[in-house]
Amino acid sequence: MKNERPGGVLLNTAFRVIIPFTLIYGSYVLFHGELGPGGAFQAGAVLAIGVLLSRLIEGDKAVFNISGNTALILAGIGAFIYGGIGVLTVLMGGNFLDYEKLPLSLPAHELHSLGILGVEVGVTICVMCTIIAIFDALSRREGSL
């Protein structure tokens, strides 16, 4: 019996075309997320779909293979980035997420943009890896740990 991937040639080819566009769109939503509500969460969800589609097509040989404990560690790092920016602004004498208090010698509008981007990146990483970890937990076969 030949070890074929599920879905057949047509479905695999379609997904190979869709995956790069999914990842590009997720990156677009991330970098333009501050212009609309929920940008980081949506970017994380779209990027997670791209990673999961890649894993479904390629299996363990997928280029974008984030799974198991790695996903949980990266989710924690994403939350730390978001929280770390907020705590840093408090330690510098401002309110939580008062970006103008970041310890960089840049104009206030640039500090605000960098602060928002840092928060967006942290939330995106956290959401993406949390979705991947949930998918892994739900798809785990019974009896395998």
Residue 145 domain-assigned?
A: no
pTM of the predicted protein model: 0.85
Number of domains in the chain: 1
In terms of residue numbers, what domain contains 20? 8-139
Task: Work out the burial of residue 63: count CB atoms within 10 Å of its CB; fewer than 13 is exposed, 13-18 middle, 19 or more buried.
Answer: exposed
In a domain, 69, yes or no: yes
What is the tens place of the pLDDT at every residue in 117-139?
Answer: 899 999 999 999 999 999 988 98
Tens digit of each residue's pLDDT (9 = 90 or more) over 56-68: 888 777 777 888 8
Give a yes or no: residue 126 inside a domain. yes
- Tokens for 30? 């991330």
Assigned domain for 1 exists: no
pLDDT band at 1 (very low <50, low <70, confident <90, very high): very low
Max Cα-Cα span within the chain: 67
